[in-house]
Amino acid sequence: MAFGRSKRGASKATPAEPVTLKLLVAGGFGVGKTTLVGSVSEIKPLRTEETLTEAGRPVDDTAGVESKSTTTVAMDFGRITINDGLVLYLFGTPGQDRFWFLWDELAQGALGAVVLVDTRRLEDSFAGIDYFERRSIPFTVAVNHFDGAEVYPPDAIREALDLDAEVPVLVCDARRRESVRDVLVSVVEHAMRRAVAAQQTEPRPAPAR
């Protein structure tokens, strides 16, 4: 389920339980997914990181992120309370090609996704964008601004990634909680707009005669 309430049948005097939503955090290898989940999570994030080894060098492309020493092999998990009525559960996907078989499991029940982008390795985000487009999962593109990387306006990023006009594009700092929170809110709002638009375009049943 993409969302729900943790209790049912509560009395009217009992405060309503918050709606819980599942979001994915995807992107290429070394783009900052683990950092993003960790910076915003209000609980100690669950991480499945392993140390990069010489044996993995032929399949783990570290060009541009040579200082990276660990990699996610299953998922990252965190939680953030947006307000009294909304809690988000975050699932960070592994970035390497050899772990993409896990994406289908993680995507089940997801309301939407963040595709985290590094402008120094923009091509690494193509696969994630294609994945969510093919499955009609709403997503926001978040450009993680690394120190020393050139800054591009969102419209230039949109054009380079060939994104639809409705897809939000934001510049963020995956290390800053406030910046990440804005990205997550953008995903939820985008998904809700998509859901409303879909309902409005659904054919209405013909009146009974």
pLDDT value, residue 97: 60
> Is this prediction's pTM over 0.85?
no
Pairwise CA distance, residues 133 & 85, whole Å:
29
pLDDT value, residue 109: 95
By DSSP bridging, strand 19-27 and strand 3-5 are: antiparallel
Name the one residue in this structure whose structure tokens are 């996610």.
72
The architecture of the domain spanning 19-54+70-199 is 3-Layer(aba) Sandwich (3.40)
pLDDT value, residue 150: 87
Main-chain dihedrals φ then ψ at residue 76, nearest 5 degrees: -110, 150
pLDDT value, residue 89: 97
pLDDT value, residue 15: 67
pLDDT value, residue 95: 62
125 in Cβ contact with 157 (< 8 Å): no
The CB-based long-range contact list for 174-179 (8 Å cut-off, 24+ gap) reads: 174/32, 174/33, 174/35, 174/36, 174/39, 174/116, 174/142, 174/144, 175/35, 175/39, 176/39, 177/39, 177/40
Question: Mapping DSSP to helix (H, G, I), strand (E, B) and coil, where does residue 191 land?
Answer: helix
Amino acid at site 6:
S
**Digitized pLDDT (tens) for each residue of the chain, 209 residues in all:** 455 555 555 555 566 889 999 999 999 888 999 999 999 999 998 866 545 444 444 444 545 444 444 544 457 899 999 999 999 999 998 866 656 678 898 899 999 999 999 999 999 999 999 999 999 999 999 999 888 888 899 999 999 999 999 999 999 999 999 999 999 999 999 999 999 998 888 776 666 66
